[in-house]
A and B are shown apart, each in its own frame.
Chain A
Amino acid sequence: MSHGNMNLTLKVWKQKNKNEKGRFETYDAKGISPDMSFLEMFDVVNEQLISSGKEPIAFDHDCREGICGMCSMYINGRPHGPKQGITTCQLHMRSFKDGDTIVVEPWRSAAFPVIKDLAVDRSSFDRIMSAGGFVSVNTGNVKDANNILIGKNEADEAFNAAACIGCGACVAACKNSSAMLFVSAKVSQLALLPQGQVEKQDRVLNMVKQMDEEGFGNCTNTGACEAECPKSISLENIARMNREYLGATLTQNK
């Protein structure tokens, strides 16, 4: 079934599981429409592979509207491809030219082992969240919502930090595989809000400790994470986390 008239060459990372060695394989993507998303282009290629009896390419994806953070793919050397501020599912083929060769790899980081082909294990992010990415408030023990007044600007700033989708592009973009942008977004959101004040010191110390234990690298202020973040999470969050962390290490009596 033909959809459009773009023809592309894909060089895609194939790897059976985390223990085996991977390699690039070349595929033809024929009859691609510029209106397709990058993942829909993969659907077409996989459909062709299945019909010729070959194994399709495994990749993570779910909501396909840019919010779940499941899709990954390192496309032509950039997480989520050539456009800024979007996930792979929101990248459309009109961003490429007929005849292009596109190289697609998984996120590369020791803390994100490959599961298969382009799918990686990001459970390290969940464990960082478990270490402190919350307000310890059990269901039911809260007051009326409007008892907490929060200035619009603080609320907006907290929201901007909270917009992180946990996709891991920041780690993939970083030459050190640092997770500082991800961790700092959650630390910032809660540090900016009155609800987060009580635990703010424990939170930053515990989350950073877990981040280090997971094998993420250090931050050297390159800023690639911010440039590649599909939700444009700001580097200011890292600055805020560093301040929180320093404050906590200086004043905590433990």
Chain B
Amino acid sequence: MSTSPKLNAKIPEGAMENKWTKYRSTVHLVNPSNKRSLEVIVVGSGLAGASAAATLAEMGYKVKVFCFQDSPRRAHSIAAQGGINAAKNYQNDGDSVYRLFYDTIKGGDYRSREANVHRLAEVSGNIIDQCVGQGVPFAREYGGTLSNRSFGGTQVQRTFYAAGQTGQQLLLGAYSALQRQVGMGTVQLMARHEMMDIVNIDGKCRGIIARDLVSGKLERHFGHAVLLCTGGYGNVFYLSTNAMGSNVTAAWKAHKKGAFFGNPCYTQIHPTCIPVSGDHQSKLTLMSESLRNDGRIWVPKKQGDTRKPNDIPEEERDYYLERRYPAFGNLVPRDVASRAAKERCDAGYGVGTSKMAVYLDFAANTMRYGQIEANKKGIHSASKEQIRELGVAVVKEKYGNLFDMYKQITDEDPYEMPMRIYPAVHYTMGGLWVDYNLMTTVPGLYALGEANFSDHGANRLGASALMQGLADGYFVIPYTIGDYLSEEIRTKAIPTDHEAFVKAETEVQERINTLFSIKGTKSVDHFHKALGKIMWNKCGMARNAQGLKEAIEEIKALRAEFWKDVRVTGEQNEFNPELEKAHRVADFLELGELMCTDALHRNESCGGHFREEYQTPDGEAKRDDDNFAYVAAWEYKGESNFELHKEELKFESIKLAQRNYA
């Protein structure tokens, strides 16, 4: 296999551990006076976008930030719960840059690019330093040092956290850095704006068309470079842990204008979410992976057991993760845990009314914590009830907000009985293909954070999304963008009456006109739900060739129906959430087909991509390294026409091996 000539990953030469240091020290710089005349557009204000925008503005670039929410602080990074990884080795448990690098490559089932992942591990410690400097209130020990906990797929404690609100605190840190620059006038903030298309001039990305979501007007914005920090596309499944507004539109428009899409089929199904309760459901809620530190996952040993969980004695419970994977137990990676839950439920051991759920039980650890507290307090003859009470207080401090949320949604008290959980769509490892500089195949167009494909392979480890978003924004793009912008110092700002801007805006306007003109009978949500069902059933936790072929045809038919029968109410020149949704769902209807195409072509199982035809005798994902150790980067060639390009993945530092968590 050889890499397509259209894909140059620009990985620096040299030993893995020296690549980034050497590159960082030799990459072209832009002098401060030139930075002032270089304009950078940042689309999205989550961890990647806010950190990139703030840092680039601090360096002197002129920055514009766009977000569709009413404030940058609402970006969906805010909802990340459990934590952020960093190779600090504060716990003296053998952590190192190499170990974080190794865990991430292995966790990603050997489908990520080594050089990018190594860089991620190298800068992980700087992120924690930076956030603490901003005043992010991480959890601490009594001695005043930072606290850590464990996440899946690792055997060290390297996860930093702020209760169950780590994403919120990190985002507010980046947001405060961003607002500081807004106040200084170095960043222009465009909230309630949605990117509708990118504008390319002479083969380079030179700006965007945006829609002001309040006035409805289309706007043209020039930039010497454009950064897409627009998150993942999990909402293609309709039901996911993503926010309602999370969408693929920015990435998809870029894809249609020349940016290759990398590994679109790699989707992360998170094992611990609150199960679906009815067809009214609009989104799924995650229960943090950190709960697997202290929660034990089980189902009854008897099929179709209808007893209440607390009435099922210990010896009649099957702690299936501990049974199958004794070395990692409940802390196996997400893809493994999700499949194991599905396997038990499919085999008839599921619990709850839908029978599509398993238990996440805190009783044992509550008692263990209670006993420690009793010992600390010198209570030697504590009753069982007293110990439980002391334990509940500890659990409350660690996970209180999650337990409250669970109770609010399900009307069941998780302090009294085990949580019911089931896997749900959570994150997309796939995204726009980028080189080592985070640049897409369109010069001047970058993708950061979840929007790119590069660091997590076929499965992301818990607490690594926050790490990657902030690494890209704070510590990667500020250096790598110099490689491009140093060549642009002679480019004057291009007036937005340039024909390319006019043409792009006209195309957007025509699409809006078409959407209103259909005046069909079905709502946008109707199509979104129908698409979600196809994707979940045929391109979800388990896939097979037959189902994927059917899905492609079903999506094509649904897309045709959408453009014939969708009803978009209201008008363009006003605040119109239905029109916003229509644009996003129209793009999901195209993306879904590419995801299925990618899943169908990848005749192997790896990480979150589980093809039923390719599994080991004990039901684990079976990779085919001889034929599929590559990134699938798809080029858009017109409707339903995608051309595959391959970037060969070379493993120089880590030996390819079958993942083993037993």
Chain A positions near chain B (C-beta within 8 angstroms)? 1, 3-4, 16-17, 33, 35-37, 39-40, 43-44, 47, 50-51, 53-56, 58, 60-70, 85-86, 90, 92, 94, 115-116, 119, 121-123, 125-126, 129-131, 133-146, 148-152, 155-156, 158-159, 162-163, 165-166, 189-190, 193, 195-196
Q: Are B165 and A135 in contact (CB under 8 A)?
A: no
With A40-B282, A62-B69, A195-B133 in contact, is A149–B168 under 8 Å at CB? no
Minimum CB distance partner of B185 in chain A: A130
Q: Judge if B280 is at the interface, Cβ distance under 8 Å.
A: yes
List 18 A–B pairs whose Cβ atoms lie within 8 Å, in order of A's numbering: A51-B521, A62-B244, A65-B79, A65-B405, A67-B78, A69-B74, A119-B70, A122-B71, A126-B179, A130-B179, A130-B180, A134-B134, A144-B129, A145-B128, A149-B143, A151-B140, A155-B140, A159-B163
CA distance A67 to B175 in the complex (A): 15
CA distance A145 to B127 in the complex (A): 9
**B89 to chain A: closest CB distance in Å?**
11
Q: Are B578 and A56 in contact (CB under 8 A)?
A: yes
**A230 to chain B: closest CB distance in Å?**
11
Q: Which residues 59-102 in B have Cβ within 8 Å of A in the complex?
A: 69-74, 76, 78-79, 88, 90
List, in ascending order, chain A residues with CB within 8 A of B136's CB.
Answer: 162
The 8 A-B pairs of least Cβ separation, nearest first, read A149-B144, A130-B183, A142-B133, A134-B176, A159-B137, A116-B575, A145-B132, A129-B179
CA distance A112 to B177 in the complex (A): 24
**A197 to chain B: closest CB distance in Å?**
10
Q: Judge if B55 is at the interface, Cβ distance under 8 Å.
A: yes
Q: Judge if B378 is at the interface, Cβ distance under 8 Å.
A: no
CA distance A141 to B180 in the complex (A): 16
CA distance A35 to B143 in the complex (A): 44
**A206 to chain B: closest CB distance in Å?**
9
**B55 to chain A: closest CB distance in Å?**
4
Q: Are A43 and B138 in contact (CB under 8 A)?
A: no
CA distance A89 to B180 in the complex (A): 30
Q: Are A135 and B78 in contact (CB under 8 A)?
A: no
Q: Which residues 142-198 in B have Cβ within 8 Å of A in the complex?
A: 142-146, 162-163, 165, 168-169, 172, 175-177, 179-180, 182-183, 189, 191
CA distance A193 to B245 in the complex (A): 34
CA distance A74 to B125 in the complex (A): 43
Q: Are A65 and B523 in contact (CB under 8 A)?
A: no
List, in ascending order, chain B residues with CB within 8 A of A144's CB.
Answer: 125, 129
Q: Are A68 and B69 in contact (CB under 8 A)?
A: yes
With A62-B69, A136-B180 in contact, is A68–B74 under 8 Å at CB? yes
Q: Judge if B437 is at the interface, Cβ distance under 8 Å.
A: no
List, in ascending order, chain A residues with CB within 8 A of B140's CB.
Answer: 150-152, 155
Chain B interface category by residue count: 35 or more
Minimum CB distance partner of B163 in chain A: A159
List, in ascending order, chain B residues with CB within 8 A of A43's CB.
Answer: 280, 282, 525
Minimum CB distance partner of A72 in chain B: B70
Minimum CB distance partner of B138 in chain A: A155
Minimum CB distance partner of A119 in chain B: B575
- Count how many pairs of residues, one from A and one from B, have CB atoms less than 8 Å apart in the complex: 223
List, in ascending order, chain A residues with CB within 8 A of B574's CB.
Answer: 16-17, 116
Q: Quick one: which of B70, B137, B569 contacts A50, CB cutoff 8 A? A: B569
List, in ascending order, chain B residues with CB within 8 A of A134's CB.
Answer: 134, 176-177, 179-180
Minimum CB distance partner of B132 in chain A: A145
CA distance A2 to B575 in the complex (A): 29
**B569 to chain A: closest CB distance in Å?**
5
Chain B positions near chain A (C-beta within 8 angstroms)? 51, 54-55, 58, 69-74, 76, 78-79, 88, 90, 125-126, 128-146, 162-163, 165, 168-169, 172, 175-177, 179-180, 182-183, 189, 191, 214, 241, 243-245, 277-283, 285-286, 404-405, 408-409, 411, 474-475, 478, 521, 523, 525, 567, 569-570, 574-578
Q: Are B281 and A135 in contact (CB under 8 A)?
A: no
Q: Quick one: which of B71, B137, B243 contacts A158, CB cutoff 8 A? A: B137
List, in ascending order, chain A residues with CB within 8 A of B177's CB.
Answer: 134, 137, 139
Q: Are B76 and A44 in contact (CB under 8 A)?
A: no
List, in ascending order, chain B residues with CB within 8 A of A133's CB.
Answer: 176, 179
Minimum CB distance partner of B281 in chain A: A40
**A152 to chain B: closest CB distance in Å?**
5
Q: Are B277 and A190 in contact (CB under 8 A)?
A: no
Q: Are B179 and A195 in contact (CB under 8 A)?
A: no
With A47-B523, A62-B244 in contact, is A162–B137 under 8 Å at CB? yes
> Apart from A90-B409, A152-B140, what are 11 other A-B pairs with CB-CB below 8 Å?
A35-B277, A47-B525, A50-B578, A51-B521, A63-B76, A65-B285, A67-B79, A151-B142, A152-B141, A159-B163, A162-B162
**A186 to chain B: closest CB distance in Å?**
8
CA distance A17 to B571 in the complex (A): 13
List, in ascending order, chain B residues with CB within 8 A of A69's CB.
Answer: 73-74, 78
Q: Are B88 and A126 in contact (CB under 8 A)?
A: no
List, in ascending order, chain A residues with CB within 8 A of B474's CB.
Answer: 139
With A62-B74, A123-B191 in contact, is A129–B143 under 8 Å at CB? no
Q: Are B567 and A65 in contact (CB under 8 A)?
A: no
List, in ascending order, chain B residues with CB within 8 A of A140's CB.
Answer: 126, 130, 475
Q: Quick one: which of A54, A67, A126, A136 contacts B168, CB cutoff 8 A? A: A67
Q: Are B78 and A63 in contact (CB under 8 A)?
A: yes
With A126-B191, A159-B163 in contact, is A62–B135 under 8 Å at CB? no
List, in ascending order, chain B residues with CB within 8 A of A131's CB.
Answer: 183
List, in ascending order, chain A residues with CB within 8 A of B283's CB.
Answer: 64-65
